[in-house]
Amino acid sequence: MADSSFDVVSKLDRQEVDNALNQAAKEVANRFDFRNVDAGIKWSGEAIEIQANTDERALAVLDVLKDKLVKRGISLKAIEEGEPRVSGKVSKIGVTLKEGISQENAKKISKIIRDEGPKGVKAQIQGEELRVSSKKKDDLQEIIALLKGKDLDVALQFTNYR
């Protein structure tokens, strides 16, 4: 009998991120507390740029974006916000999107599977994802539950379950 397997990946649904950004931009444009503060949010290449006339207003726009991302099912572990920086008369915050599992995190996840998971489960690193295989499907489900219970600093999804 062939081994059962699944992949552990960290991917973003770009369309959902774009929808969240558009919803946040609409809310910022319509909210009373953002009037006359040059508040805005937009794509800047692959990153998101937030601006307002003060650091506090820029952080408030960031909170609106985070709220919209969570409502759309995007983990906040998938974004990395920078510190507010002053550029002319406006304060800006850069937000980058994180995709893929770094080698360091892949090794950490692999070690968790080896140490705490059932015996006979193999984990191998394949680029920016991790392939987990075992003879028993029940063991794979145990691994998924184990990884969901851990507080890792990367948003995980489980794909190609066979």
Instruction: Encode pLDDT of 141-161 as tens digits.
Output: 999 999 999 988 899 999 988
- Summarised one tens digit per residue, pLDDT across range 9-43 is 999 999 999 999 999 999 999 999 999 888 999 99
End-to-end, the C-alpha distance of the chain in Å comes to 13
3-state SS track over 55-85: HHHHHHHHHHHHHHHHHCCCCHHHEEECCCE
State the burial class of residue 24 (Cβ atoms within 10 Å of its Cβ: 0-12, 13-18, 19+): buried
132 to each of 20, 146, 157, how far by Cα in Å?
A: 32, 13, 13
CB 97 within 8 A of CB 46: yes
* Torsion angles phi and psi, residue 87, rounded to 5: -130, 100
- Can you give the pTM of this predicted structure? 0.87
